[in-house]
Structure 1
């Protein structure tokens, strides 16, 4: 059986769809979900087994700032460092999300070479966008389940995320320390977003 290269899928997706618009939709949805977070919420468990909501937010902020720097050619690993939240978690999260959106909005970004030090190499801008996009479709779902809120995306956004999720390598890589996604969860439901998160190791039945 021929295996599809996820990098090829990302490049093709950026050519065939408005991946920048899909990415904006995913990020803005996470900002809306985080907007009402209170200090007491930061202790809540999330579908990411190793993280409370505080951990998910600090991880996400570091990733947003790391991708934003990398898109502009910065390969300094320190940019990706996770730092504790301050007194305004929602504001910090929104600022980091806007930073990465601004970086990806720059002219010619899809054709750039992007040094993603946490991913072990250099990728095209389209591939970097694709990685960040699918991650934040899934993290939008994580946030919504953690906070007991609904999350919905337009069908083209979920279809694009599903196309990427379907080619993310499985096997031992999914159980390695630091893997962004766990082993696929068997799922027979009809909701397409639930299918995406199941492919990437989340249990669609998860409730706080």
Structure 2
């Protein structure tokens, strides 16, 4: 698969996770500090529409990146925005030399090369899909599905390893926290999570 196809696969796997969310679960906490499951899903949909606008040539307009209310149908909102993004990426990738994308939430001063942008959203999709799955108490199926596809798992790990990890890039207000140290037996998904500051052993707080 090429990178755009792998990205499409990441959307499919994430949609499978989001499709299991029940309305009463939208209040659950997530590994994203201070975010409920509803807030996380609204962020996911907003990001998909933001990347869609960028792939269609939008400039550095933060208005394109607002979180989007998911109302009573988070799975439908996710699938609809994912389909729009997949089509926009496919159309942009068909150009002989795809134009870079403006991603003001990632880099405000200049556009990001197309394939780097696709890779970053692949990473964001799978990591946030894990956030959703672990909030529901069932991340193992997603992790196994990704690791059953070595090309997808390898891409996830490679992109995670390329995310800047300096003090100015990680911490409060940033997308990721300081990298952790995975265990020796960790698979590629858990190693990617640790590189991004996620705790692969995160679980819902006991009530």
Check whether TM > 0.5.
yes
Structure 1 residue 81 corresponds to structure 2 residue 66: yes
Number of equivalent positions: 191
Structure with a larger share of its residues in helix: 1
Q: Residue 184 of structure 1 corresponds to which residue in structure 2?
A: 179
User: What root-mean-square deviation, in Å, do the aligned CA atoms of Structure 1 and Structure 2 show?
Assistant: 1.6
Q: Map Cα deviations across residues 19-72 of structure 1 (whole Å, 9 max, x no partner).
A: 112111111111111112111110111111221111110111110000000101
Tell me the secondary structure at the aligned position of residue 175 of structure 1: coil
Contact preservation (8 Å) 2:18, 2:129: no
Q: Which consecutive residues of structure 2, in runs of 5 or more, have no partner in the other structure?
A: none
Q: Map Cα deviations across residues 70-126 of structure 1 (whole Å, 9 max, x no partner).
A: 101012321111133222111111111111111111122862121222221312211
Q: Residue 3 of structure 1 corresponds to which residue in structure 2?
A: none
Moved >3 Å (runs of 4+): none
Q: Residue 162 of structure 2 corresponds to which residue in structure 1?
A: 167
Q: Which has the higher contact order (CA 8 A, sep 6+)?
A: 1
Q: Residue 195 of structure 1 corresponds to which residue in structure 2?
A: 191
Q: Distance in 2 between matches of 1:109 and 1:136?
A: 26
Q: Which of 133, 147, 166 is matched with 2:122 structurally?
A: 133
Q: Residue 102 of structure 2 corresponds to which residue in structure 1?
A: 115
Give the drift of 1:139.
1.3
Q: Residue 9 of structure 2 corresponds to which residue in structure 1?
A: 25
Q: Distance in 2 between matches of 1:158 and 1:109?
A: 27
Q: Which consecutive residues of structure 1, in runs of 5 or more, have no partner in the other structure?
A: 1-16
